[in-house]
Amino acid sequence: MTGIMKIMTETAREAGRLAFERRKNLPAAAIHIKTTAADLVTDADRETERFIRSTLERKCPGYGFIGEEFGASAADAEWCWCVDPIDGTTSYVHDSLVWCVSIGLLHRGKFYAGAVCVPKLGELYYAETGRGAFCNEVPLRASGCAALENALLATGFACVRDKRPKTNLEFFCRIVPQLQGIRRDGSAAFDLCQVAAGKYDGYWEFRLKSHDIAAGVVIAREAGALVTDADGGENLTGNGLVCAAPGIHGALLGELAGHDIS
């Protein structure tokens, strides 16, 4: 593990412990609405992001920072952190299993490394470009699934939460009958890691933001999954995200052809 990867994994693990402890006593007054009743933030989200930022600024001075809760500073720096302190806040509020601390690292605007801590499952996923992907030191590999009929996929509904006039529901209804199964976890970081681990064969979603996916995209790619936008390009935050085993990535893109989730 390189020095930067060690910093990322240690910080993600410590931030996960902090968020986990704060969840043990989360009063209603610590839960807030951002834009709609489906878009939540807690005092723990904000405290965790402050902790991550102060830790990384101390250990890596001069890096930029993009955070979900407090925005960006020096986002055009050569090296820039991209952080979601609690990805899956609704799950966190409801004390569900699946929420994550996600720390991504950009190099000249490109996703370079990532660490994702899933505290309630005791899992720490991490990857650095060109060095493979791991969970708790065990190497990860995307599945060999070659047909949608044999696939277990995941998706999400950020577009529904954002009250968009066109949503993922159309594609959900089109794709699900062709599959072996579907899962909806409420955390893009977690879903990307599950594809990396070969537990899910693919994942798609629209209207994600860079802090949602910065870490998970690197982890999935380093595990051998293909990650593109819904047209097969690189506009992952503007044109949908499709992450899948190589054997079904093309088929999943075909099902999303003609999408218009703007």
Name residue, tokens 């999943």.
Answer: 252
List pLDDT tens digits, range 71-119. 999 999 999 999 999 999 999 999 999 999 999 999 999 999 999 999 9
84 is catalytic: yes
86 is catalytic: yes
137 is catalytic: no
Q: Of 45, 47, 49, 68, which one is the catalytic site residue? A: 68
Q: Of 49, 84, 128, 185, which one is the catalytic site residue? A: 84
Q: Of 212, 213, 219, 222, which one is the catalytic site residue? A: 212
pLDDT of residue 206 exceeding 80, the answer is yes
Residue 142 bridge partners (DSSP) = none
Q: Domain 148-255 - what CATH class?
A: alpha beta
Nearest to residue 197, comparing CAs of 217, 212, 219, 213? 219
Nearest to residue 114, comparing CAs of 140, 89, 151, 143? 140
High-pLDDT (> 70) share of the chain, %: 98
Q: In Å, what is the CA distance from 223 to each residue of 82, 126, 145, 216, 242?
A: 20, 10, 14, 11, 15
Q: Of 45, 87, 128, 201, which one is the catalytic site residue? A: 87
> Where does the pLDDT of residue 166 fall: very low under 50, low under 70, confident under 90, or very high at 90 and above?
confident
Q: Of 7, 52, 66, 86, which one is the catalytic site residue? A: 86
CATH number of 3-139: 3.40.1360.10, 2.20.25.90, 3.30.540.10, 3.30.360.10? 3.30.540.10
pLDDT of residue 1 exceeding 90, the answer is no
Instruction: Spell out the domain ranges in the chain.
Output: 3-139, 148-255
Q: What is the Cα–Cα distance from 32 to 36, expressed in whole angstroms?
A: 10
High-pLDDT (> 90) share of the chain, %: 88
222 is catalytic: no
The pTM of the full predicted model, rounded to 2 decimals, is 0.96
Nearest to residue 237, comparing CAs of 200, 195, 206? 206
Q: Of 9, 48, 89, 167, which one is the catalytic site residue? A: 89
Beta-carbon neighbour count of residue 101 at 10 Å? 31
89 is catalytic: yes
68 is catalytic: yes
